[in-house]
Every structure is written in C-alpha cells, then in structure tokens.
Structure 1
Amino acid sequence: MTNPAEQPPLPTEALEKRRAQIYPVLSETDMRHVRRFGQERHFEAGERIYLAGQVPPGTLFIVEGRIAVYRNDGFSTDGLIVTLQKGQYTGEVGQLSDRPSMADGVAVGRVTAIVLSAEALRGLLVAHADLGALLIRSLILRSVALMEQNSGGPVLIGPPGHARSHALQSFLTANSHPYTVLDPQTDERAAALVAAEKPGADDWPLVICPGVGLRKNPSVPELGRCIGMLRHMSEDTVWDLIIVGGGPAGLAAAVYAGSEGLSVLVLETRAYGGQAGASARIENYLGFPTGISGAGLTGRAYVQAEKFGVEIAIPAPAGRLICDSYPLKVEMCGSLTMLKARAVVLSCGARYRRPALDCLKQFEGRGVYFWASSVEAQLCKQEEVVLVGGGNSAGQAAVFLAAHAAKVHILIRKGSLSSTMSNYLIERIAAHPNIELHTHSEIVGLAGDDDGLKQVRIRDARSNEESTCQTRRLFLFIGADPNTGWLEGCGVAVDRNGFIVTGDDVDGAPPCEAGDAEQDYVRSVRAQSTLMTSVPGVFAIGDVRAGSTKRVAAAVGEGAAVVAQIHAFLATAPRPD
C-alpha cells in the first residue's frame, strides 16, 4: 500500500459538493464534550485500526495524527477516500449500533484518539443536541457516499439477470447497503475468481463479503449475517419489548419506546420500511408538501431508532409466538432460537397477494416482481412493462417506472381507478405519455423460458377475448393479506379476514385458563388499552390490526400511541427473574 499522503482521494461528486458536511472539524469545545464520553487510545504508524466488514473499536475522534480511510471493493483496498485530521472522526451511520465498518482505516504516523463505543456515542448525541445533529448528518452522508462508490459492501459475481443475484440485490438495495455486481464475462477479476473456484450451476452467484470472505449462492439470511445486519441474539436476554415488523408502525413504536428507556428489539423479514419503504413517493404525508420517497422517510426512522439504542435485526422473520407463559417468547423462523420479552408488538403488516397463475413461482425475480425499486427500474429501461393493480401503491410504482420504461401498461379489473386510487395519482397517470390504462382486464397466463418471462396473456372481461403482450417485466400490485398465519395456536384473536382484533373488539374472557382475579386484571388492563390483543402484553398496530386506517400517517400514530399503553401494562406486569 502506498503512502496515503501521496495518494489523491477518489473523485466523487458527492464528496466534493458536501465534503465540509461529511468530514467536519470539531471545535475544542466539541472535543471536550466528546472526551467526557470516551477513552483515549494510541495507535502506531501504519497500524490498521479498523477494516471493512469488521466491527471497529469504536468511533475515533482524532486528538493527534491522521487516519487514512480507504475504499474496500472486496478485492483490494487501493483507493483513498479521505485522510482525517485532528478534530475529525471516523465511522459511518452503522457505528450507532456497533455494526461493521464499510471502509478501512490506517494510522498515518502515531495517532491519539478518543474512542467512543456505540453506547457512548449515542449518549453523546442525546446529551448535546447540536453536536449530535452535526454528527448524525455527517455519518449518514458518509454512508451515502460509500454507496455511490460501492465501498465496503459485498461483491456479487454471476451471469447477468440471474434470479438469485436479483434477490440479493433487491435485499441490499431495500436496506440501503452498498454492493457491486460483476459479470465474469467482462470483468477480469471476476473471471479469475470463477476460474479458480469453478462454480457449479447451484453455486451462483459468488459473493465476496469484505472482512468475511467468499460465499457461494448464499441465502438472504446468510448475506444478512455477512454484512452485520443480522447478529447473534441471546436467548438469555429478556427484552422490554420485541416488535415484529419494521414498517412505519413498527419503527415509530421502536423510536418512542427506545427514547423512553425501554430495551427494544425489532424483527424484520426483508427490509426496514416494509411496503411503505418501496413507495417511490409519498405525497400526502404531513410535513412534506413536495412528497418524500418511502425509502427516505423510513430510512430516517431507522437511523432515529438506532440513535436511541434499538436493535434492529434484518432479515429475521418470526416463526411462532408463545404466550402460555411469562415472559412472552418469539421463536425465530427456521431455527429453535427463543427470544424473550415482557411485551410484544405485532406490526407484521401483510404479505403480497399472488394471483393463481401457472408458472408464477418460476418467474418470480426473473420477470415477475411485487415492488418497484431502482433495481427493477434499471432492468426495464426502454422496455414495455405490464403493471397489475389499481391502488395507490400501484399508481406510485407506475409513475416511477414510466421514467425508465418505454411504456407502462396498467391493467385493472374495474372500469376506472376512481374508487381505489387517490385523485392526484389518477391525474398524474392520465397526463403521463408513457402510461396506458387498460380497464376490465386481467392476466390469465404467463410464458417464458430459462432466461425468464417473455410474454403475458390478457383477457378482456367485457368481450372475453384474449390477447398476448410481449414483455419481460410484470409488476403485481394486487393487494396483500394480513401476515397472521404464524400466530396460530397462541390465542391472538383475529377477525374473519385474518386481521388482529384489539381493545373493545376482543370478545369474551382471556384465552388462557385464569382465575377470577386474573381475569379481572386482564379486563381492567384491556379497558385502558385500545391496541392490546386478546393476549395480555401482546399489542397490534398498523395494517395487520383490524379496523386500522391503511395509511402511513395512521400507522405512525398507532406506533406512537402503543408505547404509552405498553408502559401501563409493564407497570403492573410481573418482573421476570
């Protein structure tokens, strides 16, 4: 490695335009505040202080010396990002929760620094609001800049359009994590690795995780562990609150509960933000007159939750809720891990609804998609695509995709969008030259080959005639069903459509065998809690709750409201040994 002082920084537009915000220099007063929360450490010249893919010793605030920060692309670390000076500090937003670094840090000369653990860093942010705002802004911008440089994230190597590669890309994109995709037919380094590893048909894609190593065709949970989003969770820990689902409702509950001193664990199946996180633009959320992307809104909430010490595990699907003893237990899907909690919030939302079509499973991720992110937008550049659905999510996706695709065909069974979609979206669709609405229409068949989807068959409900549309991309936004199947056997009551009932809508006595005194206690607690389910200590919020308003703002409101009700329950609940 060459002398970092002689090596120019990587030229990136984001770094140059916002360098002062990304790498601010703290004042002497700020450094005095920092010193109260950390410990002074020394590092020798040339010492590798931290490495991409590994948990760093903490956030380092430089007192003397310099630290060279290098880009790590999975193969080498030969690109200098910045050389940090006295009064500057290391890290990205992941340092709020002790996650692996996304860059390498090397001491230039002897370095003296004040090192703050993740807990100490969060304490500093809360104690000094102005300094905290400066630090959080810079850490977020650093993560964004590293994403633009594809630094510190996994490298995916495989044939273009491979379904498994798409699934991993979608997961990383949805969670705002940097990654690089290399085609072994065009990239020499990827070709050399493939020649050495000789992967079989079931080994694609090859994935290099900085600091971890090579993985062949990893599952999404395996990739989550590689990048540090999914960490070991001890069965001995008793959390004050486990939240199942990291959409707007779950994140709101996490932020309020964490800020009020509760220990909180959030279990999310795919990506923070849920379905709202995939929305191209939310234009009716209070306080954002020009709109905000779902990823932008929920990404802020994710960082806010981490600021208050919330542990967010992704991908971590819950497999079973056990509520016949106390503390309550959540069994992780695919494992025998039992997580304990004094209270549980169900904000598990809904599952994407799938039409009854032959070959649908065959083409999922290879032409059939249930969301529209930047990954899918790149796939359909200058192509004609078909989108099925007439709700707001479908409208937002259509407008987003129309900026990339040659044409977007919207198919709905009804005669118009007026009863299912907001008026502002209807007007935007009508005005867009790239969007064509087909009423009284439905998909009745799919066709393709090993490369993916090639065409869809469409039936006109009025004439019963069928036609064929040549397309490689089909987007399905036909609604969702409540994600409550995993709750069977635990006593959480649901309505006839599978949504969880709460508060006064819960019928009868507690589901467990309880004495009169205990039943009276449960009834008194439930009378004060509009969001408690039929099981004491288990609450439901957001889209999965019966009678909820299916809007982002309503979900956030329920997430805030449930925390007060949790406090009331915990105040009288037995304390686990």
Structure 2
Amino acid sequence: MSAAEHKQSAVRETPDQYGAFPRLTPEQFEDLTTHGERRRTAEGEVLYREGEPFREFLAILSGAVEILHDLGGPDERTVAVHGPGRFLGELGLLEGQAAFDTAVVREAGEVLAVPVERQRALVGRDPVLGDLILRAYLGRRYLLIGLGAGFRILGSCYSPDTLRLREFAARNRLPHRWVDLEKDKEADALLRRFSIRPDETPVVIWKGERVLRNPSNAELARLIGLPAPSPEAGRCDVMVIGAGPAGLAAAVYGASDGLTTVTVDAVATGGQAGTSSRIENYLGFPSGISGGELIERAVLQAHKFGARLMVPAQVGGLTPQDDEYVVTFTDGSQARAGAVVLASGVWYRRLEVPGLERLEGVSVYYAATVHEASLCQADPVAVVGGGNSAGQAALFLANHASRVHLLVRGSDLNADMSRYLVDQVERHPKIEVLLHTEVQGLSGEEKLESLTVEDNASSERRELRAAALFVFIGARPRTEWLRGVLALDEKGFVLTGADAQAAADATRWASLGRGPLLLETTLPGVFAAGDVRSGSVKRVASATGEGAMAIRLVHEHRGKTGNLVRSAGP
C-alpha cells in the first residue's frame, strides 16, 4: 500500500483502544495482497452483517467503514469507525462464529479482501501478523461484551435455565446482554414486542427479530455458529474429553503429532482457567495473562494443527470395543476413538454472592499456595469453609497474613474437620473462627477490601476487613458417567498409574504385558490429565503439562511399548 493510498479519511475514526484498532504496515498489506484481491466499495454498502458468518478478512486501503450494533433496530449504535490502514472483523472470524456487528461503508474507497480460510492459515503461519490480529480481535470481543452487544437473554434471575444460558454465554466469552424479567424495565416491552408469555422465558433474542424459547446450550451454539457435534463424529485416533488447559494441551500436542484429534466439552473451552481475570504465575507471562486470552490462543493453536473442537458436546458413555472405545454423547450420537484422554476437570463450588466473579483470580481464590499467600502478606484474609481443606488453608495463610477469619456456616467446627486440625485452628493466635457465619457481600473496586458477613442464627451483620477471600466449600470431579466403567477414588477422581494398577482387572492387562502407564486409568488406552485425576496438582501449568504428557503416553500405548511405567514382570 503506497503512501497515497494510506491517506486519512475525511470521516473521523475511533481512536485505538487497548490495541483493539491497530493499523497494518505497508509491508503487511503487501504480504496480504498475494492472498486476496483489491475491491472498490460504495457508500452505504454492507460488507458483512450481524448474525451472518464472516466470509472475508477485510483491510481498508481507502475510505471509511462504520461498525454498527443492531443495524436498523431500536438499539442501533456505533461501535467504531475505521479508516485506511485498519482491518475489520473480530474473534468470530477466526473461530467460525457469526458476526456480532455489521460493517457499513461510510466513505467510498477500496478494501483488500482475503478469504477467511486463507486468513486463518496466515494467522497461524505469520507470528507477527497473527499476534497483531489476535490481540486486536480479543480486544474487540471484550469491547462488544462490555457494550452488551450480541444476543439478549430475557429471563428471571430465579430461573435455573436463565442461569444456565448466562453461564454458557459467559464461559464461551460470547457478547450478550441479560434482561432481568424481575427488575429490568425493558423486559415488559420485549415481552409485548415478541408476544412472549412470562412462562415461556427464558428466551434468547438474536438480531432483534429471532426468538428462541428456552433453547438448549446446543441450540444457542448453533445460533451463533459455535462448532457443535455432528450426528456421527466418525472415528479419531484420540478423543479428548474436556477443553480446559489439560484438554487443549492434549489437543495441540495430539494434532501436531499427526494424530486425528477431537476435543469435546459440555459447556465451553477453557474450564476453570477460562474464567480467571488474571493468571499471574503462568510460565512465560511475567506481567500475567487473562484466562480468556490464554484459552483463545490455545484454541487457535489447536485449530492451526488441525484438531477438531466441539462445544457443547456432553459425553455420557465410554465402552471398550475391538481394542478401541465407543464414546456415546448424551444426544445419542457416537464416535470411535483409538485412545481417550479424560480432562473433564472439576467444578469448584462458588459462593452465591453478587460481584464475586469480577474478583476471581484477583482477590478471590479456590486454592491457598505460596503464590496466593504472597499476594496478601501483612493483610487480613478470610477463608470460607468448615472442612479439612479450609482448616489447612487457614493454618497456612496464618503464616503470611496479619489475621485469618475462618467463616463456617455450621455451628460446630468438629462436624466436618479432623480433630487435629480443629485443635490447631482453635489454638492459633492469628485465626478467628466465626461459626454460623455466611458471606453476603463484597466491597472493593479493583480488589477486595472488605466483606459483609451475617450470623445465620441471629441475622446480625458486620463488616470484616479482608484483602483476599479463599473459598473451600467443595469441589467435585465430573465423573458421574464413569462410575462402573473405570476405577475412581472415594471422591470420584480418576485413579491412574500405580493407583490404577492396584485396582485394575489383571486379566484385561495380561495380554499387554504391562500395567497402567503413568497417567493411564484401569482401562488400557484411556488416560486422565488435569484436575479430574486423583492426586493431581490443581494448577494451570501442571494441567497443561499432563495434557502434553498424556499424548506421549498415547503413542506408547499405540506402539505397544509402555516403557515409562511397567508392571513388575516375572
């Protein structure tokens, strides 16, 4: 692109915000030209439309383009205006989703159009251009989420289905806005406009015209273009169940090793890590990285190597058949896999407290290690829970914090905590135990400053100063569907390696001449990685390491070598 072509438009463009609206260099335009075509634009021309899939990556050579939300609708508003040197689109272009906004030419000019599939390949091959585009698209996605663009969820805050749809949208980082049937003044107008009865809610409203009445997660996924499972997924070398850090690592390493790899998740890519606002201790990111950005990068990396990701796709059965496994989904469809990696993670129970999500990973934690403790030295902290995990965390944190408030909902610390822990907790001068106490509110803008707690016996409320909140009210692995299929520990976590060998059916392994490999379960060729595995370290780094290691062990299983861990031979 010459200097003449790069002249500024007469239309005032939106200033760059957090790297969301960067400008391509002339050299980058030149490289892109070999993959696309130049095309004239006319004023008023729609380049892409909200609700429709992206077909092209568009860069502006001259003229100006306005990005609009709800074009022609009652909520129409400008998201951004772009001039020469900038490019259009957002994260949906790279991930195969529908557009969440509309691009309209405001000043005639010329664009460079590159077919979407070619652009996705370029992002994977050119690290500089790929990083520029990915960062811009991530910034734009979060901008759209902040604007409340995308679809609307209309439903009651007391409805489980409303909560399900909101969680699905949030976990998949989808732009949307929730209209509370109980409190929002807009709700009645929407009910009348679309002839919706209150008992038909929740509903999803898309593009101001299409209404889905209480859709399933899969129906919502299809609406906005998420890659949902096909009726028959066929056969693959490796089926990865769960798309958190462990599952995505397995997808990347499996696909990059040339294995046909399919990764499925019942809710969203990212797992618990995807909900973290900041991960400060992940290797290679000294200034930290948001869980969302880390996961989006991993998803694109998996796509780059040819892994197939399907969300939402819930697995309900695993059956050995002819040295392979038949994976059955809850919708009745099936797939065959030569090996399986279980990476379904755990579900940490959260407190039902308003504003908790925005402080997760910043001041609210579900683990207490040296890292978390170092962030709140000399400050008071609060621990919620009455079990051993809460007691151990309180004792550990008392070595770092100025004071530890242990908040227990019940009336007796002995009910769920071991006697030896109770004695240590009650004797420790820095620990204050508050029985029949529940958290009702959090205060603090960028980080936690104080808690509002209530005595559930007297209903008396008080404020507690706390710089961090540690929640230990239980976590359960997502393994209900595996009971009776392979060996689990008493809490439902998957046994692997030496633990699995002790519980394995010797006749099943006799023909292999080995016992379970390091991450292998009691079923040959079925591996577990990450939080779902019994004895695992509940950290993002260890989960990604186990996901990568699982693929190495898959190769050993396929090659019938098994040289990392063998059973004792004669």
TM-score by length of 2: 0.72
3-state SS, counterpart of residue 436 of structure 2? strand
Structure 1 residues 39 and 224 mapped into 2: Cα distance closer, same or farther (>3 Å)? Answer: same
1:305-324 alignment, distance < 5 Å: 305-324=302-321
3-state SS, counterpart of residue 328 of structure 1? strand
Does 1:147 find its partner at 2:156? no
Task: Judge conservation of contact 1:38–1:117 (CA < 8 Å) in 2.
Answer: no
Q: Distance in 2 between matches of 1:38 and 1:496?
A: 58
Of 32, 55, 64, which aligns to 1:34?
Answer: 32
* Deviation of 1:253 (Å): 1.8
Q: Distance in 1 between matches of 2:125 and 2:275?
A: 34
| AA aligned opposite 1:560 | A
Q: Percent identity?
A: 31
Of 483, 501, 509, which aligns to 1:507?
Answer: 501
Match of 2:133?
A: 135
| AA aligned opposite 1:55 | P
Number of equivalent positions: 504
Task: Judge conservation of contact 1:390–1:412 (CA < 8 Å) in 2.
Answer: no
3-state SS, counterpart of residue 169 of structure 2? helix
Match of 1:452?
A: none
* Deviation of 1:550 (Å): 3.0
Structure 1 residues 557 and 331 mapped into 2: Cα distance closer, same or farther (>3 Å)? Answer: same
Match of 1:225?
A: 222
Task: Judge conservation of contact 2:266–2:314 (CA < 8 Å) in 1.
Answer: yes
3-state SS, counterpart of residue 60 of structure 1? strand
Match of 1:458?
A: 436
Does 1:243 find its partner at 2:240? yes
Structure 1 residues 249 and 78 mapped into 2: Cα distance closer, same or farther (>3 Å)? Answer: same
Match of 1:404?
A: none
3-state SS, counterpart of residue 182 of structure 1? strand
Of 368, 371, 375, which aligns to 1:392?
Answer: 368
Of 507, 529, 547, which aligns to 1:541?
Answer: 529
Match of 1:482?
A: 477
Task: Judge conservation of contact 1:206–1:215 (CA < 8 Å) in 2.
Answer: yes
Q: Distance in 1 between matches of 2:172 and 2:412?
A: 32
Task: Judge conservation of contact 1:247–1:347 (CA < 8 Å) in 2.
Answer: yes
| AA aligned opposite 1:133 | D
Does 1:557 find its partner at 2:545? yes
Match of 1:382?
A: none
* Deviation of 1:62 (Å): 4.1
| AA aligned opposite 1:89 | F
Of 405, 408, 413, which aligns to 2:386?
Answer: 413
Task: Judge conservation of contact 1:169–1:375 (CA < 8 Å) in 2.
Answer: no
Match of 2:519?
A: 531
Of 340, 343, 349, which aligns to 1:344?
Answer: 340
- Give unmatched runs, 5+ long, in structure 1: 354-364, 378-386, 401-406, 445-456
* Deviation of 1:346 (Å): 0.3
With a CA cutoff of 8 Å and minimum separation of 6, indicate the structure with the bigger relative contact order. Answer: 1
Task: Judge conservation of contact 2:236–2:261 (CA < 8 Å) in 1.
Answer: yes
What RMSD in Å do the two structures reach over aligned CA positions? 4.7
| AA aligned opposite 1:113 | L
Q: Distance in 2 between matches of 1:316 and 1:484?
A: 15
Deviations, residues 241-280 of structure 1 (Å, cap 9, x unaligned): 3211122211222233344444433222233332344456
Structure 1 residues 115 and 300 mapped into 2: Cα distance closer, same or farther (>3 Å)? Answer: closer
- Give unmatched runs, 5+ long, in structure 2: 1-8, 416-434, 439-454, 462-468, 562-570
Structure 1 residues 37 and 274 mapped into 2: Cα distance closer, same or farther (>3 Å)? Answer: same
Task: Judge conservation of contact 1:458–1:468 (CA < 8 Å) in 2.
Answer: no
Structure 1 residues 259 and 41 mapped into 2: Cα distance closer, same or farther (>3 Å)? Answer: farther
Structure 1 residues 236 and 216 mapped into 2: Cα distance closer, same or farther (>3 Å)? Answer: closer
* Deviation of 1:328 (Å): 3.0
3-state SS, counterpart of residue 373 of structure 1? helix
Q: Distance in 1 between matches of 2:243 and 2:139?
A: 23
Task: Judge conservation of contact 2:384–2:473 (CA < 8 Å) in 1.
Answer: no
Q: Distance in 1 between matches of 2:283 and 2:227?
A: 33
Structure 1 residues 280 and 141 mapped into 2: Cα distance closer, same or farther (>3 Å)? Answer: closer
TM-score by length of 1: 0.71
Structure 1 residues 232 and 39 mapped into 2: Cα distance closer, same or farther (>3 Å)? Answer: farther
Structure 1 residues 282 and 192 mapped into 2: Cα distance closer, same or farther (>3 Å)? Answer: closer
Task: Judge conservation of contact 1:66–1:111 (CA < 8 Å) in 2.
Answer: no
Structure 1 residues 508 and 167 mapped into 2: Cα distance closer, same or farther (>3 Å)? Answer: closer
Q: Distance in 1 between matches of 2:257 and 2:70?
A: 38
Q: Distance in 2 between matches of 1:169 and 1:532?
A: 36
Q: Distance in 2 between matches of 1:297 and 1:71?
A: 27
Q: Distance in 2 between matches of 1:39 and 1:572?
A: 51
| AA aligned opposite 1:373 | E
Q: Distance in 1 between matches of 2:173 and 2:203?
A: 21
